[in-house]
Chains A and B, each alone.
Chain A
Amino acid sequence: MSSKLRWARVVSAIVVLTMVLAACAPAPTPTPVPPGETPPPVEATPTTPPPPPPPGLEIKNPDTYMAIGGAGWPETLDPAWTYETAGCAMENNIYEGLVWFNRERTEEFVPLLATDWEVNETGDVWTFYVREGVTFHEGGTLEPHDVTYSLHRAMLMDRIDGAHWMNFEAFFGLYTMEDLAKEIAGDPEMEFADVPADALVEACEAVKAIAVADDEAGTVIYKLAAPTPWFLALLANAWSGMIVDKEWMIENGAWDDDCATWVEWYDPPAEETVLFSVGNGTGPYKLDHWTPGEEIVLVANENYWRTEPIWEGGPSGVASIPRFVYKNIAEWGTRLAMFEAGDADYIYVPPPFRAQTEPDAKIVCYEGDELGRCEETGTGYYKLFRDMPRPVMTPAQFNWQINMEGGNPFVGSGELDGNGIPPDFFMDKHVRYAFNYCFDFDALIQDAMSGDGIQAQGPIIKGMMGYREGEPPLFSYDPAKCEEEFKQAFGGELWENGFYMQLAYNIGNETRRIASEILKAGVEAANPDFNVSVVGMPWPVLLDSRRAQKLPIYIGGWLEDFHDPHNWVHPFLHSQGAYGRVINMPEELAAEFDALIEEAASLVSVEERRPIYEEIQLKAQEEAVVIWIYQEIQRSHLQEWIHGFYFNPAYCSNEYSYVYALSKGQ
């Protein structure tokens, strides 16, 4: 045997032996966790020090602000069609409305395309004075009729499940154009296709009547169905308030402002609207191009009308950053690499990856109650903004009357026999209380949110009118109370027989998976005969199951549409709300919530509204309508050379909804 071959065999044997010894080494024994307790969160043990951050990155692309998202592309760039954050954030740069938020303040508004406004004594008629000397990107001149056309077009378009239910609610006390047309036709139950032509025309005219322009006087007058305290917040939204050039739109094939033809433009597919991938607003940025799947590029509007700062110390004139590039890159490693290389100015960092990036934060700015307090860490290379309470809330919604028709895989036997749950399982208040006490809120916030969450107190988020300041949430993790409630449920039968149910979550959503596992652990710890199976499902399957009202519990989320407690209590608790209508509360209780919500919405003053919302907040907890889990706390990660960032929870995206306010430089 040659010596080389002998050496090769020796080396191979040593390698194999090493691998075998490593595999056979005893694994560390985990500390046993007493029954009923949640295992403590596992702290990551770094085995090697993190690599040194790139020292003193030079500013790449000084004329470009590059934002890398991770949650998707816009559906469209037409503000009348949009009802998601990616599209809305782009449109906030291209289009403008009559008013805008005063920097970080959600309840103060500054004039934008209006110079002033007034409201009548009863609070249902608003008059706006439209700014002169404003030019659209394609050259047209802003006039009051552009303002009204924009709203009329948007409401008449009213695409399926779009944003205009908010406008129809404010102007008509209804929710859709279809509702309006049927009401005028005299039969709310009829099919839309059967609505007579004259009723359709009349419906259009009714829409036109709610917003009237006077080009001579330079005004636009809005007539609401009832005083709407959140009306300015609606106008500050992309989908309600963004203004387009009427003449240009009609020239390019949009609705011709004729009530005889509006149905031709009703509920179009996103790609069939004029503004799908084309922009023509008055905003500080113009759309340069949108290459689907690759990038959206906006360039500064060289003819931007603003000569005075929008707020004290705010921007004016042409945008200081000439280009804004948006990319959506789903792969986390790629986003991080671009950030470390200095190519990206902002990247989206999901909560599970924050621990990986945040040792490299050079400057940490704390928002919350003390705006803009910043500290230098002495190392790192980027700026971290933290403690920003997002207007996003996640509940675990109970289904109080589960649909069993055609079989239901989520409820086992469908009986209280230990192998399933009955359809009215969550009708029993003790069951709802037990589930709330069994849920370890702190574990979820620490494990899944890296501490970036606030336990919810009810449907209304912290800082908003109706939130009961100083009062803790009614429920906290309490295994003893959990057990006590379960023992009382169904007259003791539940405790004796046990139960089985499935808990479904949306595959890909790690936070909801962890929440499901935590709930399962808490419930099962109460009684060995309690069995909860956590099932991940693709969104299409989950959507279908939820629609069919077969899910016993659904962990979802709500991002506010406009900054007012009405947009929290209505979706969650009103019988017509996105969540409220599938909770299936008993009629009496549902009617109580509806009455409170509608009463609060009908009042104008904060002094009158506040106690009602606080009452709703408390009642929602006392009835344990759902498990009010958590409100998100946001963090934003931007390069050190980006300046001017602030946090406004009403923005579609704080990092790129208003690039005009940012600047780039050392």
Chain B
Amino acid sequence: MRTYIIRRLLILPVLVLGVTILIFVLISMLTPYERAALYVTDIPKRQGAIDDVIAKYGLDDPIHEQYLRWMGKVVRGDLGWSKTDKSPVAEVIRRRLPATVELTLFASLPMVGVGIWLGIQAAVNHNKFIDQILRVNSIIGWSIPIFVFALIVMMIFYARLQWFPPGRLSDWAQRIVLSDEFSRYTQLNTIDSLLNGRGDILLDAVRHLVLPVLSLSYLNWALILRVTRSSMLETLRQDYLTTARAKGLTERNVVNKHALPNALIPVATIGGLVLIALLNGVVITETVFNYPGIGSFMAQAAITLDVISVLGIALYAGVVLVVGNLVVDLLYAFLDPRIRLA
């Protein structure tokens, strides 16, 4: 197992190298003047300004020189400066990652947990009314664009009812969190507020998570529900479950102890991919709810051709992908003892 894990982690530098080289190759297709637009956001006021910017930032240096220059800094822990966020890229990721992790944590339980439970109900009540309702719901969930859903729920539950605001914290809570009277341990507002004994801030943080979590869940329930349902239906037809029932086991035991673990393997794949996607940031949800996570940063960096930020995010995404897939593989082994990780 240990060897397997180490071997998988060794893929990471290769992946990072490949992705970053690919990005630089794509960048090389832009002219230095197009890349200078990151620094020149309005028409230049004087002749030669763009050429000066190009010279200053080495935008017309050979692409391999630019790459080696950037990689040299990366090796020293410097991912460069983000023009989009006005901070070092490493600091941007460090600052925004807890928000993304917090959203992922709170979204994963309803998304995966409820999605699986609903899928089980649909499979166990195959072709009955509840199955039909759940299938229709999953189609609707998959069909409604997330930004439409997100804007509607925000208008209803925030603009009208003022129950669930956007952002991470209300202004009054933010002031306390940034003050000396509040200690930061994890940068996750929910956990830190618990550790600081501030139930009011915990409640405020949870209120701010409701709508983004609901938006993400509604979309992803549909997927997880359908995959779980299909997998459960296939598993429930297996002969060994007939044997289990014949031995007198309750249906609950048959489903939860004997069928479910086998049915969860494809769900683990999908669920893992969904969680990896969450950790890479969900652009639309973060944008609509003004949630300062990795996704909104990534989108802004791409739009403004902030190459340095894009490279930093690519590094981060590579790490998430490799580690995430490794965790899913380990989960397979846990779910099915027959699977040996060689």
Contact = CB atoms under 8 A, between A and B. Distances in A.
Interface string A66-78: 1000000111100
B218 to A, nearest CB: 17
A337 B45 contact: no
A295 B92 CA distance: 14
Given A66-B171, A161-B49, A543-B50, A73 B86 contact: yes
Contacts of B290: 327, 329, 331, 334
Interface residues of A, number: 57
Given A160-B56, A343-B165, A578 B159 contact: no
A292 B87 contact: yes
B132 interface: yes
A541 interface: yes
Q: Which of B45, B81, B289, B305 has the most CB of A within 10 A?
A: B45
B34 A578 contact: no
A546 B159 contact: no
A334 B56 contact: no
B33 A293 contact: no
A293 B160 CA distance: 26
A330 B81 contact: no
A183 B50 CA distance: 22
Contacts of A327: 290
B40 A175 contact: no
Contacts of A8: 132
A294 B49 contact: no
A161 B45 contact: yes
A579 B43 contact: yes
A367 interface: no
B296 to A, nearest CB: 8
A165 interface: yes
A633 B87 CA distance: 35
A341 B164 CA distance: 11
B37 A333 contact: no
A337 B154 contact: yes
Contacts of A334: 154, 166, 287-290
Contacts of A343: 165, 171
A375 B288 CA distance: 34
B33 A544 contact: yes
B287 A292 contact: no
Interface string A560-585: 00000000000100001011010000
Contacts of A277: 86
B86 A75 contact: yes
A269 B81 CA distance: 10
Given A330-B287, A540-B34, A271 B86 contact: yes
B31 interface: yes
Q: Which of B49, B160, B288, B290 has the most CB of A within 10 A?
A: B290
B158 interface: yes
Contact of B45 (A54, A340, A547, A578): A578
A539 interface: yes
Given A329-B290, A544-B33, A161 B154 contact: no
A336 B85 contact: no
Contacts of B33: 540, 543-544, 547-548
Nearest to B178: A289
B299 to A, nearest CB: 10
Contact of A333 (B56, B95, B154): B154
A71 B203 CA distance: 32
Nearest to B174: A295
Given A161-B49, A331-B290, A547-B50, A341 B165 contact: yes
A341 B162 contact: yes
Interface string B237-277: 00000000000000000000000000000000000000000
A84 B86 CA distance: 15
A161 B46 contact: yes
A621 interface: no
Contacts of B305: 538, 540
A581 B41 contact: no
Contact of A271 (B35, B81, B151, B292): B81
B166 A176 contact: no
B44 A578 contact: yes
Contacts of B296: 293
B47 A576 contact: yes
A35 interface: no
B332 interface: no
Interface string A55-84: 000000100101000000111100000001
B322 interface: no
Contacts of A188: none
A64 B34 contact: no
Interface residues of B, number: 52
B46 A333 contact: no
Interface in B53-87: 53, 56, 81, 85-87
Given A175-B46, A271-B86, A293-B292, A337 B155 contact: yes
B56 A340 contact: no
B45 A267 contact: no
B200 interface: no
B86 A64 contact: no
Interface in A227-273: 267, 269-271
Contacts of A6: none
B9 interface: no
A544 B159 contact: no
B85 A292 contact: yes
A538 B95 CA distance: 29
A620 interface: no
Contacts of B155: 333, 337
A407 B158 CA distance: 54
A454 B163 CA distance: 43
Interface string A330-351: 1101101110111100000000
B37 A540 contact: yes
B85 A544 contact: no
Contacts of A579: 43
A170 interface: no
Interface in B293-321: 296-297, 305
A160 B50 CA distance: 9
A176 B46 contact: yes
B139 interface: no
Nearest to B45: A578
A539 B287 contact: no
Nearest to A75: B86
Q: Which of B37, B86, B287, B305 has the most CB of A within 10 A?
A: B86
Contacts of B234: none
Interface string B1-40: 0000000000000000000000000000011011111111
Interface string A129-153: 0000000000000000000000000
Nearest to B161: A341
B336 interface: no
B46 A540 contact: no
Contacts of A342: 162
Contacts of A337: 154-155, 158-159, 166
Contacts of A269: 81
Contact of A161 (B37, B40, B162): B40
Nearest to A342: B162
22 contacts: A54-B159, A61-B171, A64-B171, A161-B49, A165-B45, A289-B178, A292-B95, A293-B86, A293-B96, A293-B297, A294-B292, A333-B155, A336-B159, A341-B165, A343-B171, A540-B30, A540-B33, A540-B37, A540-B38, A541-B34, A548-B33, A579-B43
7 nearest A-B residue pairs (beta carbon): A540-B37, A544-B33, A161-B49, A540-B34, A337-B159, A340-B159, A333-B151
Interface of A: 4, 8, 51, 54, 61, 64, 66, 73-76, 84, 160-161, 165, 175-176, 267, 269-271, 277, 289, 291-295, 325, 327, 329-331, 333-334, 336-338, 340-343, 538-541, 543-544, 546-548, 556, 571, 576, 578-579, 581
Given A161-B45, A540-B33, 9 more contacts: A8-B132, A51-B160, A76-B86, A161-B49, A291-B95, A293-B85, A543-B36, A543-B40, A581-B47
